[in-house]
């Protein structure tokens, strides 16, 4: 048997998780309420995700707070501040503050 173990590989290296919140999974159900609110909104809105952006934002913020995904600025995830919307001249029916 080699120094790498029975199945090969170097036991001294720890695995690196994929980017963009794929892992770790929420095994402890820390963000279940936010997830359920978002899924419920999708169901009642006919799966029109733009109507559920507030719930989506809350869920992502929960995952960041609980270290289930890397902390990122919400603008990098597609959420813009109200002042940025007015400056760009976009017409938006539902606004999300940050």
Identify the pLDDT of residue 92: 46
How far is the C-alpha of 83 from the C-alpha of 92, rounded, in Å? 12
Give the per-residue pLDDT at 24: 73
CB 45 within 8 Å of CB 51: yes
pLDDT value of position 70: 87
**pLDDT tens over the chain, length 98 residues:** 455 556 655 666 676 655 654 557 888 999 999 999 999 999 999 999 999 999 999 999 999 999 988 899 999 989 987 544 444 444 444 444 44
Which residues neighbour 45 within 8 Å (Cβ) at sequence distance 6 or greater?
51, 52
What three-state secondary structure class fits 48?
Answer: coil
d(CA 59, CA 62): 5
pTM of the entire predicted model = 0.60
Residues 58 and 61: their CA atoms lie apart, in Å, by 5
Cis peptide before 50 (omega within 30 of 0): no
């Amino acid at each position: 048997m080699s120094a790498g173990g029975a199945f090969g590989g170097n036991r001294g290296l720890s695995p690196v998780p994929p980017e963009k919140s794929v892992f770790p999974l929420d095994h402890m159900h820390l963000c279940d309420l936010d997830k359920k609110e978002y899924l419920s909104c999708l169901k009642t809105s006919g799966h029109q995700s733009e109507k559920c952006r507030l719930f989506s934002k809350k869920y992502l913020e929960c995952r960041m707070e609980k270290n289930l995904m890397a902390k990122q600025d919400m603008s990098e995830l597609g959420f813009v501040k109200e002042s940025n919307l007015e400056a760009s001249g976009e017409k938006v029916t539902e606004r999300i503050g940050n």
